[in-house]
Chain A
Amino acid sequence: MKMEKKTVGRLDIRLWSGGTGAPLLYLHGFEHHPGDAAFLNRLAENHLVCAPEHPGFGTSTPLEEYYDIIDVALHYRRLIESWHQGAVDVIGHSLGGMFAAELAVISPHSVRRLVLVDAYGLWLHEHPLPDPFALAPRDLERAKWSDPGKAPMPEPSAFEAPGDADALAIFRAQNLGTATKFMWPIPDRGLNRRLPYIEAPTLIIHGAADGLIPAVYAEAFAHLIPKARVAVIRNAGHLPMLEAEDEFVLTVNDFLA
């Protein structure tokens, strides 16, 4: 994957891209962009992958320039239109899943097929989610991974200064602070009312051991999206693309083929 800086509308973002094949947009989760992660390179073997960093994350333009979920959806509509003529496949993970679903609602002509991976965006009263911003670091690790002992170290990330603790603190504050705009205090911005508008065939992938979003949420997404089915990945938590890379890539390729 190659990283480049790109201007979309008034926003400057970082974007990782590579591969050949049908165009595939990947929207990352609430903690950080995965950078040049192995799973993205695997997907690039038979897709033209475009993995932008969200505005407000990393070194992309800070959040002040846009401030509502509709602004995010329109940003990604514009990014797709500047990249490819016609609809593309879209994968959205975690917070990126919320964004991808909103994009599919607001711009159905932009999204051919949709994959939501351990997505935020719903709130089930009987299954309250833990507050990821108040978890002690150790508890966050436990919630994220099926097996924290086998978690990839270091986790693939767009962070560019390994070993610099101050820079890492700032990187995380930047990313998570931006995420609070959409996830605080409850990651529900009304998506449950809008999911029925999604026209694209949708695959809901969910790590069976996700301690941040229990797997019951996958069923709730599938229930609200007209053409959706669920694929649960065992031995994976909130990041199945890292903990169960092979199964994740196979499942995605199968669906998008």
Chain B
Amino acid sequence: MRFHWFAEVTYPDLPSDYRERYRSAWVTPPARLADPQKVGETYRMFIRLMQLADQVGFDGLTVNEHHQTVIAMTPSPNLLAASLATSTRNAAITIVGNSLALYNPPTRVAEEYAYLDCVSGGRLAAGFVLGTPMDSVFAYGMPPIEVRARFEEARQLILRAWSEPEPFVFNGKYNKLRYVNIWPRPIQKRIPIWVPGGGGSVETWDLVNEHDYCYGHLSFSGLYSSKPLVDAFWEYIDARGGNLNPHRMAFTQVVCLANTEAEAEREYYEAVRYFHRNSAPGNFGNPPGYTTIRSMKASAAQVSLGRSKLTPEDRIRASRGEMGFWEYDEKGYIIAGPPPRVRQRLRELITDLRIGQLIATPHVGNLREEVAAENTRLFGHEVAPYLRDLWADQPDYWTPEASQKLVAQNAPVVRGSDPRSAARKGATAKQAGSSAT
């Protein structure tokens, strides 16, 4: 069981009526609302938080790519990853990922990922994504009907650029390169590849199934919202005789740890509402052609998709910030409270959805740094070690070997057991976690 630290790098100081006045958090948010000094402070805060996550035993530090949005100011996740790669020691750098269709030529991704793998000592997990419609289609002007074909061509080019020993010619439909011969090459001979989605496109499922990539359902709406899609994914893989190892599945979950329930509500409620109120895609969420007809038909045919415990009204209220704090918790959007409660609910989530890579989200919206830092510490010391027994019998091919070893040596373990003596005996994460409750 792996735990990654992730948060959307959200602008923290939007006007309280942002949603009503500007409707979309994406593509067209007025730039005048952001103070670049404050943006810089926000970046530095996230770097500090992720450095802390590295120290308290997280398996991975996760960054992602979005454009022109108030909720994720990381147009190049590789820049943030570079800051982390040289200032952290143990955790994987999980990039989820680069929007391959947007790089021209896509060998840029092969080069930057290779740089990151080298500079981090082989700790890179390389994410390939299509990008949301808001990113790839609206912000970067890609015809929606071309995004997937460009992604696929770029993927093939990048894999060859990493592995071909000699310069080669690439004559693609969208990319024509006479001399492909990138410097540097990655340390890892087989970089773990993650292809997270969220919309349930069957083309993505086919891709991850065929190549045994790590899939990911990256949502911010939790178990009940996502369960129909995640179940459909596993059913799809199972029906095709694919790999059911939980470690090939990642999932995001907002976590709000505190010493008491009252403290959790006091510290996190406003930040949770801030995030949900200010993440609406407006009219930019579903341009024609982005989802293929095949995927539209497959979605309509998936029986499990009708089984959500959330009503359409629930989703609307959640997105408007109209739920109470514990209603957000009850409906799965967040998992909040003291460590024992959070452990229990995460255990249910992880086993119910069959997740081996939990992308915990200890910062959300405009949360204060002190709260996010305490959340991170509590997660590293009081939650993660108690859940490491999960899936311990299954190998993890989707987290870099180097970071697996380092984290196993250095991460906190269950209180009462002695981490240093365990490390000296060469304990693995599996052994360290086997006494968890």
Contact = CB atoms under 8 A, between A and B. Distances in A.
Interface stretch (B76-84, B140-148, B193-201, B402-410): B140-148
Contacts of A201: none
A254 interface: no
Interface string B18-55: 00000000000000000000000000000000000000
A173 B133 CA distance: 14
B167 interface: no
Nearest to A132: B288
Nearest to B297: A170
Contact of A184 (B144, B296, B297): B144
Interface stretch (A92-100, A154-162, A174-182, A225-233): A174-182
Nearest to B296: A170
Interface in B115-147: 137-138, 141-146
Contact of B293 (A67, A174, A186): A174
A134 B284 contact: yes
Residue among B143, B146, B289 with max Cβ neighbours from chain A (10 Å): B289
B152 to A, nearest CB: 12
A172 B288 contact: yes
Nearest to B287: A133
A173 B293 contact: yes
A27 B238 CA distance: 46
Given A133-B288, A173-B288, A173-B289, A180 B296 contact: no
B302 interface: no
A169 B143 CA distance: 19
Given A136-B283, A173-B288, A180 B144 contact: yes
A173 B141 contact: no
A9 interface: no
Contacts of B137: 184
B120 to A, nearest CB: 36
A180 B284 contact: no
A171 to B, nearest CB: 9
B141 A185 contact: yes
B291 interface: yes
Nearest to A171: B293
B25 to A, nearest CB: 15
B92 to A, nearest CB: 36
A36 to B, nearest CB: 24
Interface in A23-76: 62-63, 67
Contacts of A174: 293
Interface residues of A, number: 23
A133 B138 CA distance: 10
A174 to B, nearest CB: 6
A174 B300 CA distance: 15
B283 A176 contact: no
A181 B145 contact: yes
A173 B143 contact: no
A180 B284 CA distance: 14
B141 A184 contact: yes
Nearest to A64: B149
A134 B145 contact: no
Interface in A111-141: 133-136
Residue among B143, B144, B145, B296 with max Cβ neighbours from chain A (10 Å): B145
A166 B138 CA distance: 25
Contact of B283 (A62, A63, A134, A172): A134
B300 A166 contact: yes
Nearest to B288: A176
B106 to A, nearest CB: 19
Contacts of B296: 169-170, 173
Contacts of B141: 184-186
Contacts of A169: 296
Contacts of B290: 177
B289 A177 contact: yes
Contacts of A184: 137, 141-144
A177 B144 contact: yes
A180 B287 CA distance: 9
A169 B300 CA distance: 11
Interface of B: 137-138, 141-146, 173, 283-284, 287-291, 293, 296-297, 300
22 contacts: A62-B293, A133-B144, A134-B138, A134-B284, A135-B283, A136-B283, A166-B300, A169-B296, A170-B293, A172-B288, A173-B288, A173-B293, A177-B144, A177-B145, A177-B288, A177-B293, A178-B145, A180-B144, A180-B289, A184-B137, A184-B143, A184-B144
Given A166-B300, A177-B289, 9 more contacts: A133-B144, A134-B138, A172-B288, A173-B293, A174-B293, A177-B145, A181-B146, A185-B138, A186-B141
